[in-house]
Structure 1
Amino acid sequence: MSLILDLFLTFLKIGLFSIGGGYATLPLIQQQAVVVHPWLTLQEFTDIITLSQMTPGPLAVNTSTFVGMRLAGMAGAAAATGGCVLCGIVISLALQHFFRRNQNQRAVLQLLETLKSASVGLIAASAATIIMIALFGVSSWKQTLHFNPSAFLLFLLALINIQKWKLGPMPILILSALAGCFFYL
């Protein structure tokens, strides 16, 4: 199978099963882009997540565009991004029609509540994975842990700044980047 088609189909699958969007998509993207198709290392995956938060647009779209561009240039970026958004567009249009007609049905309201709970679980799993990669350099408790005290200190400082001084994401990212340069360069 050609790389362009492989990128399209892989990110089509990610787009199809990315219920909840945002961080809820991270486990699926990691599984496909790091494990199934070793297109990225864990460190590169973590870096993409960081970069995706600093650029406009959804996380899955930014990630698919980056991976596609890196592997196959503009054609790869277009294929991966197109695959990522195609299912979402089609499903959104179909669901809009369905929910408009059935918006007060009890079963529909229960379905939405169930999907919210599933999204929270996926986001929690993603957060745990990101923390494990950042602090221990692994994505699973089954792997050998290598604790990184510098990363843990940066994590604590960011958490304190968010909680105590209510700093927003941009100052935290800038301060973390400066601290990262100090610790790692």
Structure 2
Amino acid sequence: MIFQKLGELLAVFGPLSFLTVGGGQSIVSDIHRQSVAVHAWMDDGEFLDLFALSRITPGPGSLLVTLVGWHVAGFTGALLASAAIFLPCSVLVYGLARLWARFQHTPWIRAIEAGLVPVAAGMILAASATLLRAAEGGPWAWSVAAASTLALMFTRINAFLVLGLGGGVFWLALG
């Protein structure tokens, strides 16, 4: 049973390693889908708890993977999930960095870099939508998220102030 779970962790996080274009945040949507819907390792509430814990602790954004691995298969699961998310892309990036440096001023490299920007942004937007759906905050959560996004995009307001105001509005709405 434990070997099956470890195999599942490896099969899920190994391929996801190559999709971390925008960092760990870009794959949160698929981590949620795999953890909750596909493998039923946890429910939405447990996923949100692990996500929140991964955000308040220091370390990479992909720490969520380690916590999912821990939840599924304990210490061994955490180690395997971490290795599966970090090793494949690290080896690939190491190899590509040498090639990238050699051809960095060519037009096709600049085109690839420009093309990856909207891909990363889209993946991060999908992750945000997944978290809002999983939190079941309803129209208030979506409204606060939209207002916060617009405020950060079009003003010079401090992100921490927006976070505090958004939390306060949401708390008042629920209370």
Please give the range of the TM-score, normalised by the shorter of the 2 chains: 0.7 to 0.9
Query: Which amino acid in 2 is paired with 1:147?
Result: G
The within-5 A match list for 1:66-77 is: 66-77=67-78
Q: Which residue of 2 aligns with 1:133?
A: 134
Query: For 2:58, what is the secondary structure of its paired residue?
Result: coil
Q: Which residue of 2 aligns with 1:147?
A: 138
Contact 2:148 2:162 in 1 (8 A): no
Contact 2:50 2:68 in 1 (8 A): no
Q: Which residue of 1 aligns with 2:87?
A: 86
Which residue among 48, 53, 56 is the counterpart of 2:55?
Answer: 53
Query: Which amino acid in 1 is paired with 2:105?
Result: N
- Using a 3 Å threshold, how does the CA distance of structure 1 residues 152 and 16 change in structure 2: closer, same or farther? closer
Aligned-residue offset at 1:68: 1.3
Contact 2:48 2:134 in 1 (8 A): yes
Aligned-residue offset at 1:171: 9.5
Which residue among 17, 30, 33 is the counterpart of 1:31?
Answer: 33
Q: Which residue of 1 aligns with 2:110?
A: 109
The 2-side partners of 1:171 and 1:29 are apart by 27
- What is the TM-score normalised by the length of structure 1? 0.73
Q: Which residue of 1 aligns with 2:42?
A: 40
Aligned-residue offset at 1:81: 0.7
Structure 1, unpaired ranges of 5+: 138-145
Q: Which residue of 1 aligns with 2:9?
A: 7
- What is the TM-score normalised by the length of structure 2? 0.77
Query: Which amino acid in 2 is paired with 1:31?
Result: R
Contact 2:132 2:142 in 1 (8 A): no
Contact 1:18 1:28 in 2 (8 A): no
Pairs aligned (count): 168
Question: Structure 1 residue 121 and structure 2 residue 122: aligned?
Answer: yes
Percent identity of paired positions between Structure 1 and Structure 2: 25
Aligned-residue offset at 1:8: 2.2
Aligned-residue offset at 1:67: 1.2
Aligned-residue offset at 1:99: 0.5
Contact 1:49 1:59 in 2 (8 A): no
Structure scoring higher RCO (CA < 8 A, sep ≥ 6) equals 2
Query: Which amino acid in 1 is paired with 2:46?
Result: E
Q: Which residue of 1 aligns with 2:100?
A: 99
Aligned-residue offset at 1:84: 0.8
The 1-side partners of 2:160 and 2:4 are apart by 39
- Using a 3 Å threshold, how does the CA distance of structure 1 residues 117 and 159 change in structure 2: closer, same or farther? closer
- Using a 3 Å threshold, how does the CA distance of structure 1 residues 91 and 152 change in structure 2: closer, same or farther? closer
The 2-side partners of 1:171 and 1:108 are apart by 36
